[in-house]
Amino acid sequence: MWSHSDQQSQETLRRLVCFVGLVVIPGLGLAASPRNLLLITIDTLRADHLSCNGARNVATPNLDRLVGEGVNFSRARASVPLTLPSHVSILTGNYPPTHGVRDNAASRLPESQLTLSEVLHATGYETAAFLGSFVLDRRFGLSQGFDLYDDQVAEAPEMLESLEAERNAEVVFTAFESWFSSRETDNPFFAWLHFYDPHAPYTPPEPYATRYKSDPYAGEVAYVDEIVGRVVTHLEESDLLERTAIAVVGDHGEGLGQHGERTHSLLIYNSTLHVPMMLFAPGLIEQGSRVDSLVRTIDLAPTLLELLGQQQDLGEGQSLMPLIAGGTEDPSASANESERFAYSESLYAQMNLGWSPVRGLETETHRLILGPDPELYDVRSDPGEQHDLAATRPEIVSELTQQLDDLNLTPGPADPAQQAPDMDPETVEQLRSLGYLSGASPSDVVGGEGSGVSPRDNVGAWEQIEVGLQYYAQGDFPSAAQRFETVLDSHPKTPLLYEYLGSSYERSGRNGEAERVYRDALGKGIESSEFHLGLARIAIGRGNDALAEKELLAVLDLERLSVVGHHTLGDLYRRQKEFKKAQEQYRSALEINPSYLYAWNGLGMTLGSLRDDPGALEAFRQAVSVAPESPLPYLNLASQLDQIGKIAEA
């Protein structure tokens, strides 16, 4: 297994990895040729919402079929209840403290982390990914190792108020089908399909909307099951199903009201960590197998590599092939099995709300959760984690706390490559439409114990915040502001509340209220570049350029890599006819994000004002190249051509 200090070894292995044939595992009839691999991750999918796992409120015949002809890991655990870090763990086999991605949008996966896609690509696999949510956009680092990374989730960049942050399972399947049908190589493939649909808000299409009217979450699950069936059918019709291993795993679950949590991200009970995990591989795995031992999603990638005959370790996870071969043997029969544990964490409350983080450790018998106060559950007699034993079994709390500390998993790697990706307006709006926007960087919070505010004890306030986020995503900004104001009365030091409340007021045209919110936060010592950016926008709207410049410079002092900060300051200088300064700011924005349409347009207009016609034309042509679907750069390019007399081209 890789340790925190093994990055150099991983880099060496990345260069040296070579293709090997399939390894024959006793008792399993392995084929002699390379297998295709299809990885299907289903967002926000609880294990108990599959009919093969006993669910009675939803039918999932296609996933049931894969389990019936493969192996079902009935006690699989995610390491974090958040989409991006959980998927990073699945693809690297590492826990979040090791790969360093601790929250959505807060950092990117560094190149030093080896992924399943990189290993398979290096051995001749054609690799492709098809994503259902902007949270997995390439800027967050998971595209490494993929020949094709289809993350085209958003609408045109000029439609800032209409950006879609997700696409449904059928659209993802259509993208996969198009790629699959156009393949021109006989090389084995590794394809990853990510279905986001069970994530809130739950809006299944017909007939599932009607069929599951009283339980739309179940409707989303049933809809995704249908699309999984279409994927399998497509492989069957292409005569590739028998030569394709299919792994299906949930990235995390959903609270659905258990422990007071309606959705996920804040708490780390098994309502949001117990996920389905199954593996289908005709001829390689005995049909109808079931593994009831504790396993982790970080174990999936090492398992798949061994299944495919790739003699290479990956991450901290362990291959589950020995468990598969052993079937349903008693967990106590194997010393290694009995020592298996599952680490979990959520830093969401700390990074976004200023509350305490939570982390946990589950063994075959008990589950420990550490926040401001410890919790202990007997997972055999109390799988729903309803009876806290921490006060009555302090010796177990002490033992598991020591075991958790011995893992040395709390500090993340201090890797400058993991700085948060540049947050242009499109990124901000897409993340906000999902209720995601981290107000801190991992380096600010990792390893700390937070403010002492318990997420468990304040889940009711979080419920109200989530309602506000839902109003915000729906564009009902007055209702969102009202909800945020209510929660702010009892939680006056919560950064996310000020950010969303101020933005809600701005979007409602109540700039005076927005200014009050931003200045109130700053007066309480809560710093954020977003507060200064909001004050700058308000000042610009009032024609107070001096104040706007002051606030924008404050933005850049706090966040040197703020694309929107540089771009907005460039716009301010251009309006003041300070073209040299404007040019500097636009170029600074483009150094951070060379694909930022509006900086290219601003630079083109600035160079045009400086009578640098060739430079202006080049800038507008760059704008066209980065956003060919947007009319704005074409209009500016045509205007510039018209000004210099190239009428026909204009």
What percent of the chain has a predicted confidence (pLDDT) above 70?
Answer: 84
Shared domain check, 120 and 223:
yes
Are 246 and 237 a contacting pair, CB within 8 Å?
no
Report residue 24's pLDDT band, with 50, 70 and 90 as the boundaries. Answer: very low
Shared domain check, 467 and 328:
no
Are 377 and 388 a contacting pair, CB within 8 Å?
yes
Residues 6+ apart with CB under 8 A from 407: 343, 361
CATH number where 612 lies: 1.25.40.10
For residue 193, is it within any domain?
yes
Q: Is the pLDDT of residue 313 over 80?
A: yes
Q: Is the pLDDT of residue 143 over 90?
A: yes
- pLDDT tens for each residue of 188-228: 999 999 999 999 889 999 999 999 999 999 999 999 999 99
For residue 350, is it within any domain?
no
Q: Is the pLDDT of residue 156 over 90?
A: no
CATH number where 286 lies: 3.40.720.10
For residue 351, is it within any domain?
no
For residue 394, is it within any domain?
no
Last residue of a domain, one of 315, 332, 349: 332
What percent of the chain has a predicted confidence (pLDDT) above 90?
Answer: 65
HSE value, Cβ hemisphere, 13 Å, CA-based, for 416: 1
- From residue 320, how far is each of 100, 235, 300, 323, 347 by CA, in Å? 24, 25, 8, 5, 28
The widest CA-to-CA distance across the chain, in whole angstroms, is: 85
Shared domain check, 327 and 429:
no
- pLDDT tens for each residue of 160-193: 333 456 789 999 999 999 999 999 888 999 999 9
For residue 47, is it within any domain?
yes
Per the structure, the complete domain to which residue 429 belongs is given by 422-643
Shared domain check, 457 and 321:
no
Report residue 422's pLDDT band, with 50, 70 and 90 as the boundaries. Answer: low
Shared domain check, 608 and 477:
yes
Q: Is this prediction's pTM over 0.95?
A: no
The reported pLDDT for the residue numbered 59 is 94
Strands of 342-346's sheet, edge to edge? Answer: 342-346, 358-362, 366-370, 374-378
Residue closest to 453 by CA, chosen among 368, 372, 370: 372
Residue closest to 120 by CA, chosen among 233, 178, 38, 7: 38
Nearest 5°: CA angle at 179, between 176 and 182? 145
The reported pLDDT for the residue numbered 627 is 83
Shared domain check, 306 and 431:
no
Q: Is the pLDDT of residue 285 over 50?
A: yes
CB contact burial 346-355 (16+ within 10 A = b; e otherwise): bbbbbbbbbb
Shared domain check, 426 and 327:
no
- pLDDT tens for each residue of 572-590: 999 999 999 999 999 999 9
Q: Compute φ and ψ for 578, nearest 5 degrees.
A: -95, 75
The reported pLDDT for the residue numbered 353 is 87
For residue 532, is it within any domain?
yes
Distance from the Cα of residue 482 to its chain's centroid: 29
Report residue 440's pLDDT band, with 50, 70 and 90 as the boundaries. Answer: very low
Can you read off the two tokens belonging to residue 550?
Answer: 């002051």
Q: Provide the sign of the torsion angle of the four alpha carbons 574, 578, 583, 585, taken in this order.
A: negative
d(CA 408, CA 296): 18
In the chain, the N- to C-terminal Cα span, in Å, equals: 60
* Average predicted confidence (pLDDT) for the chain: 86
Shared domain check, 433 and 305:
no
Higher pLDDT residue, 448 or 204?
Answer: 204
- pLDDT tens for each residue of 334-386: 334 446 899 999 999 988 888 999 999 999 999 999 999 999 999 999 999 99
Are 140 and 108 a contacting pair, CB within 8 Å?
yes
Higher pLDDT residue, 562 or 428?
Answer: 562
Are 139 and 418 a contacting pair, CB within 8 Å?
no
For residue 57, is it within any domain?
yes
Average pLDDT over residues 408-432: 60
Last residue of a domain, one of 332, 362, 385: 332
Shared domain check, 433 and 328:
no
Average pLDDT over residues 119-145: 93
The reported pLDDT for the residue numbered 25 is 39
Shared domain check, 328 and 430:
no
Last residue of a domain, one of 332, 350, 374: 332
Q: Is the pLDDT of residue 122 over 60?
A: yes
The reported pLDDT for the residue numbered 450 is 53
Considering its fold, how many domains does the chain have in total? 2
Q: Is the pLDDT of residue 10 over 60?
A: no
Shared domain check, 472 and 326:
no
For residue 361, is it within any domain?
no
- pLDDT tens for each residue of 463-480: 999 899 889 888 899 999
